[in-house]
Amino acid sequence: MSTTTVQKTATKEEGEDWQPLIITFCCNWCSYAGADLAGVSRLQMPTNFRVIRTMCSARVDPEFVLRAFSKGADGVLVLGCHPADCHYIGGNYRTRRRIALLRMLLEQYGFDPERLKLEWVSASEGPKFQQTITDFVKLIKEIGPNPLKEEQEEQQH
Amino acid sequence: MGKIKIAQYWGAGCGGCDVALLDIDEKILGVAEIADIVFWPIAVDTKLKDVEAMPDGYITATLYNGAIRNSENEHVAKLLRKKSAIMVSFGSCACYGGIPGLANLTNAKSVLEYVYTKTPSSDQQNSKDPVFPQHETHTKYGDLELPVLYDTVKTLDQVIDVDYYMPGCPPTTNLINQFLGIVEKHVKEGVPLPPKGAMIASNKTLCDECTRKKTVKQVDRISSAFEVDIDPQKCMLEQGVICLGPATRAGCGAKCLEGNQPCRGCMGPTDQVQDQGGSMLSALASIYKVQDKETQMSEDDILKIMTQVKDPMGTFYCYTMPKSIIKRSVKERPRVKKEAAP
């Protein structure tokens, strides 16, 4: 799907054909390989997500997540290695604390905190990647479009 | 050579910045030597119409303190921009929105409603027909006008073009002296001014200036400052008190920490970071101790630990909400539960 079509469908506010846009951060060692496995295994899943590979889930600065929301992402998914499996020993412990705090913060901003999700996906868990994506897309479709994007669009008109 | 002309104005601020300018002691005589104060509502009796009568670029430097919160703040900021050669964003409110910026968590209507009907000191607490300030009031003596309160508090540079920034709540005498020194040298000796957009402060974090001892660099619990008997030699964070030092620009001389109080972040983020709150949140999460049974813990258990931070927004974005990435609160629509497709 080309970028222009993504933007067109994603900005459509109402109606059944609104498609959420989800940013997925995958760590290089586990989750990106897991996503790769899901791909080569030809597991079917919605195409609403864009993967950004980081060396570790702890590389996902809170600023990345906030910027994703400010630029109109409807959901952000952070995927990393299972606890005790981090390639860098303790990166994912930092991530889970950050995500917990960020969710508290997003709630104070007025966002539904469930727009941000943390999940552990190992290199061998292609089906879990598929399941996580499918469930998250379904959840975001229930929650609806990013309210910040809607406000920005209203101001432009 | 004639004297330079300076002006100071307050937007949505507390007046502390105006006092800070007087707080430079005998240096104020040096200011009087090189400069004429042409507009300063708190100290000099110049009216707005006098400013309007000045030719464009007449004022050498304007120090604008306070955020932009109503139509009057915005009008005067734009007017002063036109009349001044140099515009300085003075103090945390002008640079980052400051404490008034926290009003971005709500809107103008709720703010007025709270202040005029719910505060304990309000006469209208139980009134059935409360009175609110109006933008226009018609009386038999003529029409009266009040500025319009905006829903969103803005920083000065979100409204006009700003040349220099001077953060701090208020900017310390050191920083003010530094700036006045620059201007004085420029006027007397022709030394060029710093590049546009320069921050009159350090570009390192406060931890660099702070003299407290940092040893373990780890937090195992989070408490409020009043709950702990704070050791004046030891790092605040190591004692479990949230101190915004790791995410805050240096330049203030770590005065709060000298007074045994944690940093609340009034100097804003360094140049490398836009979102001070996000940066501090990240730092705090990184140094929070790994638990013994960490591998068996669920995300809810972690959330329980992190709720020791009572008010993440008020703690991490105390001064920088309007300059943060999200900028203000949003409103979600009610969820639509969709029936599963057959």
Task: Judge whether B330 lies within some domain.
Answer: no
Provide the mean pLDDT of chain A: 90
Report pLDDT for A10: 45
Tell me the residue type at B208.
D
* Helix (H) or strand (E) run with residue B337 in it: none
B309 and B272 in a common domain: yes
Per-residue pLDDT of chain B (342 residues; tens, 9 = 90+): 578 899 999 999 999 999 998 888 888 888 888 889 999 998 889 999 999 999 999 999 999 999 999 999 999 999 999 999 999 999 999 999 999 999 999 999 999 999 999 999 988 888 889 999 999 999 999 999 999 999 999 999 999 999 999 999 999 998 998 888 888 888 888 899 999 999 999 999 999 999 999 998 899 999 988 899 999 999 999 999 999 999 999 999 999 999 999 999 999 999 999 899 999 999 999 999 999 999 999 999 999 999 999 999 999 999 999 999 999 999 998 887 665 555
Residue A14 banded pLDDT, cuts 50, 70, 90: low
* CATH code of the domain containing B17: 3.40.50.700
- Output B224-230 pairs: Cβ under 8 A, ≥24 positions apart: B224/B310, B225/B261, B225/B262, B230/B260
B308 and B182 in a common domain: no
Q: HSE (CB half, 13 Å, CA atoms) of A68?
A: 25
Q: Which residue has the higher pLDDT, A136 or B224?
A: A136
Task: Judge whether B275 lies within some domain.
Answer: yes
Q: Which of A97, A112, A142 sits opposite B288 (nearest CB)?
A: A97
Number of CB pairs < 8 Å for A and B? 114
B242 and B112 in a common domain: no
DSSP SS3 for B291: coil
Task: Judge whether B298 lies within some domain.
Answer: yes
Report pLDDT for B341: 52
B185 and B89 in a common domain: yes
B55 and B85 in a common domain: yes
Task: Judge whether B113 lies within some domain.
Answer: yes
- Spell out the alpha helix ranges (H) of B104-220: 108-113, 173-189, 206-209
**Structural domain tally of chain B?**
3
Under DSSP, the state recorded for A87 is: T
Q: Which of A13, A16, A99, A105 to mutate to test the interface with B (most CBs of B within 10 A)?
A: A105
Task: Judge whether B212 lies within some domain.
Answer: yes
Task: Judge whether B332 lies within some domain.
Answer: no
Under DSSP, the state recorded for B255 is: H
Domain that holds residue B177: 4-100+152-189
Residue of A nearest to B284 (CA): A98
User: Tokens in use for B112?
Assistant: 């007025």
CA angle B214, B220, B226 (to 5 degrees): 80
B158 and B12 in a common domain: yes
Mean pLDDT of A80-101: 95
Report pLDDT for B339: 58
Q: What is the dihedral of CA B6, B11, B17, B21, to 10 degrees?
A: 10
B233 and B216 in a common domain: yes
Please, are residues B206 and B254 in contact by the beta-carbon 8 Å criterion? yes
Report pLDDT for A13: 52
B176 and B81 in a common domain: yes
B87 and B61 in a common domain: yes
Q: Which of A104, A138, A141 to mutate to test the interface with B (most CBs of B within 10 A)?
A: A104
Report pLDDT for A12: 47
B66 and B37 in a common domain: yes
Task: Give the whole-angstrom CA distance, residue B108 versus residue B70.
Answer: 10
B119 and B80 in a common domain: no
Domains of chain A: 21-156 (3.40.50)
User: A129: which residues sit within 8 A by CB, 6+ positions away?
Assistant: A31, A34, A35, A37, A38, A43, A45, A79, A121
Task: Judge whether B333 lies within some domain.
Answer: no
B90 and B183 in a common domain: yes
User: Tokens in use for A132?
Assistant: 């996580």
Interface of A with B (CB under 8 A): 58, 61-63, 65-67, 69-70, 83-84, 90, 93-94, 96-105, 108-112, 118, 141-144, 147-148, 151
Q: Which of B273, B307, B332 sits opposite A112 (nearest CB)?
A: B332
The structure's pTM equals 0.91
Task: Judge whether B329 lies within some domain.
Answer: no
User: Tokens in use for A75?
Assistant: 């959901």
User: Tokens in use for B158?
Assistant: 């979100």
Residue A22, strand partner residues: A49, A75
User: A3: which residues sit within 8 A by CB, 6+ positions away?
Assistant: none
